[in-house]
Chain A
Amino acid sequence: MMRKIIIAICVFMGAGLFTFHISEKEFFSGHALIATPLKFKIPKGFPQPQYKFENNPLTQEGFELGRKLFYDGRLSKDGNFPCASCHQQFAAFATFDHALSHGFNDQFTTRNAAALFNVAWMKELHWDGGINNLEVQPLAPITAGNEMAENIDTVIAKLKADPGYRRMFTRAFGDGRINSQRMLKALAQFVAMLVSANSKYDKVQKGEAVFSPAERQGYTVFKAKCASCHKEPLFTDDSYRNTGMPVNNRINDFGRMAITGNRDDSLKFKVPSLRNVYLTYPYGHDGRFYSVGAVVDHYRFRVINGPTTDSLLRNKLNISDDERFNLLLFLRTLTDSGFISDKRFSAPAP
């Protein structure tokens, strides 16, 4: 089917801006392959994202490449540990039912795998905030001996050897050059697109659904007791806090202090989002809590006061049994079932 080609070229001084309308046939036959732009939609009420998309323009082809990489075991040493092995869609891209994930050669990691959604809004990543840009995060699990255990050069060599990847890199970036920067930018495109903002809670905010009376009461409890750290609409304030969990002395993980070298950061960990909380169990940086109720009970009864324990928790949280019951019902409204069944984010056809 022939289509007319419309080309409009606008050139601005300094930074040239080109706008093309071309047919698909032209698109794939032309030597200058140009990828299809993809829009990042900011859900209503969400702030501007932290991730700078202007340095990595989203495209359909870049996203698809990132998706393929995310599900590809070849990013790991023995082929068994794609990103998706610890970040499972049905668990909102956390590891379902594992306090600590497993990596190469039957080794355990030392932390509970973070759920991956709305990461474009995070200033830093990891429980200790050690990663300062979404693009470089995959380097940590890829090269960690107890996770994917691979080195970057070998991953790139494996990708270069695959004609399918050469085609996909060409479509995404205009030529077939494959390097770590392009791999990471493609992965960032896929992961940044994992936006979860269509739970019952969101529908209530938009006037498309109503809370049950118990959920509404739970929401009131949430706003009074939880929301200062688990701030709406992201359900995290992206800060680091010591929530009064005693250190696990087999792991000896002191959290943020390892990154900043500052004693004041001892035992502080990133506040996780409560969106999809009923999908991401277990909970806590080392997965020590096996239910949402157990986390609430920690705040009610078991907060340990140390030098860096958060001032908001020093007196524990005064939540009655009834309030706890309603709170848990409210937290269930944060499950985004559309997100975990979204085909765009599932494993690509081989």
Chain B
Amino acid sequence: MKTTILLFCTLTASIHRAQPPVIAEGETNTLSVRIEFKTTVKGQALVPEQTYTNSFGEDYKITAFRYYIGHIELLSNIHAAKIGNDRLYRLCDATIPTSRVIEFSVPSGKYDGISFQLGVDSIDNISGAQEGELDPAKGMFWTWNTGYLMAKLEGESAFSNIPTGMFTYHVGGYKGKYNTIRKVSLNFSPEQHLQIVRTHTITLVIEADIDKWFDSAHKLSIAGRAFVHSPGEWAALYADNCAAMFKLSSMEFK
């Protein structure tokens, strides 16, 4: 029996879709970039199980902090250098150091900042089953109201009004006014800007400060709200605060 087979093979298309960015080592006029995302509280590295106090005087311990990073770009007045293709995401996890290191190369240039997206594009929220960093088994997916979380923060606090004493903020939503996708842009200092032209390798350390989750763009105390489990107004407020957590803490040149 003969079998007729049609195989559509889109060679150029997203074979590496949703995999961590990998860009081949370039020639001499390329810039190797290493980004390390760190989780901090008041400038110090987050210690799991340690009790902290937020600006409302509420105690808290962190048990989980994860977020999706995508669309990394080095910014320049002349041109922006995009990293990899548009559908590359990295799930950064406070408990997994390797998940928070991203390495890539771009053409050398006068870059004056970096930007990235927090969360997953709407197209990837509506396109069915995904794999790699977007595998729903990674626990960043709402099964009953389809969509990816942009960030998840969980912990314990005496101020939580839920019976377990936990706080569980699952922030997501990609529709309309409740869209939680956020863009973060961080500028280099004039000095960093000058140095970047003369170097081949840079390491950027970007800190995410947990305190700002509760108090930055909006004041969101644990007593006031200890959980978010669906898209909506609250998720959008926490998304604003999440975006405000990130700052460029250091840059090394080689």
A140 vs B6: C-alpha distance when bound (angstroms)? 33
Question: Which of B5, B129, B178, B230 has most A Cβ within 10 Å?
Answer: B129
CB distance from A143 to the nearest CB of B (A): 5
The residues of A that contact B8 with a CB separation of less than 8 Å are 15-17, 57
Q: Which of B147-185 contact A (CB under 8 A)?
A: 147, 178
Instruction: Give complex CA distance A332, B125 in Å.
Output: 39
Hey, which chain B residues are within 8 Å of A139, CB to CB?
136, 141, 143
A179 to B18 alpha-carbon distance, docked (Å) = 14
Contacts of B2 in A (CB 8 A): 3, 6, 21-23
Q: How far is the CB of A60 from chain B (nearest CB, A)?
A: 9
Q: Which of A1-50 contact B (CB under 8 A)?
A: 3, 6, 14-24, 27, 34-37
- Asked if B129 and A185 sit within 8 Å, CB to CB, the answer is yes
Residues of chain A from 98 to 144 with CB closer than 8 A to chain B in the complex: 126, 130-136, 139-140, 142-144
Q: Chain A residues near B130: list those with CB within 8 A.
A: 181
Q: In the complex the two chains form, what is the Cα distance from A230 to B161 in whole Å? A: 45
Task: Check: A320 CB closer than 8 A to any chain B CB.
Answer: no
Query: Is the CB–CB distance between B1 and A133 below 8 Å?
Result: no
Which of chain A's residues 230-267 have a Cβ closer than 8 Å to chain B?
258-259, 261
How far apart are the CA atoms of A181 and B129 in the complex, in Å?
A: 5
- Chain B residues near A16 (CB, 8 Å)? 8-11
Rounded to whole Å, the gap between the CB of B96 and the closest CB of chain A is 16
Which of B125, B141, B144, B233 makes the CB contact (< 8 A) with A261?
B233
Least CB distance from A121 to B in Å reads 16
Contact B5 A24 (CB under 8 A): no
- Give CA–CA (A6, B12) in the complex, Å: 27
B contact residues around A86 at 8 Å (CB): none
Given A17-B8, A22-B3, A132–B137 Cβ distance below 8 Å?
no
Residue of A nearest to B10 (CB): A15
- In the complex, B23 has a CB within 8 A of chain A: no
Q: Does B51 contact A (CB under 8 A)?
A: no
Which B residue sits closest to A1, measured CB to CB?
Answer: B1
Report the bound CA distance from A331 to B7 in whole Å.
43
Q: Tell yes or no: B21 within 8 A of A by CB.
A: no
Point out the residue from A19, A55, A261 that lies within 8 Å of B4, measured CB to CB. Answer: A19
The yes or no answer to A188 lying at the interface (CB within 8 A) is yes
User: In the bound complex, what is the Cα–Cα distance between A37 and B4 (angstroms)?
Assistant: 8
Determine if B9 and A132 form an interchain contact, defined as CB atoms under 8 angstroms apart: no
State whether A19 touches B137 (Cβ < 8 A).
no
B128 at the A interface (CB under 8 A): yes
Instruction: Say yes or no: is B232 at the interface (Cβ < 8 Å to chain A).
Output: yes
Query: Which residues of chain A from 167 to 183 have any CB-CB distance to chain B below 8 Å in the complex?
Result: 179-181
User: A153 on the interface (CB 8 Å rule)?
Assistant: yes
Chain A, Cβ-Cβ closest to B145: A130
B223 CB within 8 Å of chain A:
no
Residues of A within 8 A of B6 (CB): 17-19, 37
A131 and B12 alpha carbons, distance in the complex (Å): 30
In the complex, what's the smallest C-beta–C-beta distance from B122 to chain A, in angstroms? 10
Residue of A nearest to B4 (CB): A21
Chain B residues positioned under 8 Å from A152 (CB to CB): 135-137
State in angstroms the CA–CA spacing of A36 and B10 once bound together: 18
- A-side contacts of B125, CB under 8 Å: 132
A134 to B6, alpha carbons, bound, how many Å? 24
Question: For the complex, is A295 an interface residue (Cβ under 8 Å from B)?
Answer: no
Name the A residues within 8 Å of B127 (CB-CB).
55, 133
Task: Choose one: B9, B126, B135, B146; the contact of A130 (CB below 8 Å).
Answer: B146
Select which of B5, B137, B231, B233 is within 8 A of A153 by beta carbon: B137
A179 to B135, CA, bound (A): 8
**In the complex, which residue of chain A has the Cβ closest to the Cβ of B141?**
A139
B145 touches A259 (CB 8 A): yes
Which B residues touch A134, using CB under 8 A? 128
Enumerate chain A residues within 8 angstroms of B129, measured Cβ to Cβ: 133, 135-136, 180-181, 184-185, 188
Nearest Cβ on chain B to A9's Cβ, whole angstroms:
10
Chain A residues within 8 Å of B11, by CB: 14-16
Specify the chain B residue showing the minimal Cβ separation from A6. B2
* Closest Cβ neighbor of B178 among chain A residues: A261
- In the complex, the answer to whether A24 meets B3 with C-beta atoms within 8 Å is yes
Interface pair A258/B137, CB less than 8 Å apart: no
A56 within 8 Å of B (CB atoms)? yes
Residues of B with C-beta under 8 A to A3: 1-2
- Asked if A136 and B137 sit within 8 Å, CB to CB, the answer is no
Given contacts A15-B9, A152-B136, contact A135 B128 (CB under 8 A): yes
Judge whether B131 is part of the interface by a CB distance below 8 angstroms: yes
Contacts of A151 in B (CB 8 A): 137
**Smallest CB-CB separation from B232: which chain A residue?**
A261
Whether a CB of chain B sits under 8 angstroms from the CB of A319 is no
Given A133-B128, A140-B144, A180-B131 in contact, is the A34-B136 Cβ separation under 8 Å? no
Q: Are A261's CB and B128's CB within 8 A?
A: no
Chain A: minimal CB distance from B128 (Å) = 3
| Complex A-B, nearest 4 residue pairs according to Cβ-Cβ distance, in ascending order | A135-B128, A184-B129, A152-B137, A181-B131
**20 CB < 8 A contacts A-B:** A15-B9, A15-B12, A16-B8, A16-B9, A18-B5, A18-B6, A18-B9, A21-B3, A21-B4, A22-B3, A37-B6, A130-B146, A135-B129, A136-B146, A140-B144, A179-B137, A181-B135, A184-B129, A258-B230, A261-B233
Using A15-B12, A135-B129 as known contacts, list a sample of 12 further A-B pairs with CB atoms less than 8 Å apart, ordered by residue number in A: A3-B1, A18-B7, A37-B5, A57-B8, A130-B144, A133-B129, A133-B146, A152-B135, A180-B129, A184-B128, A185-B129, A261-B230
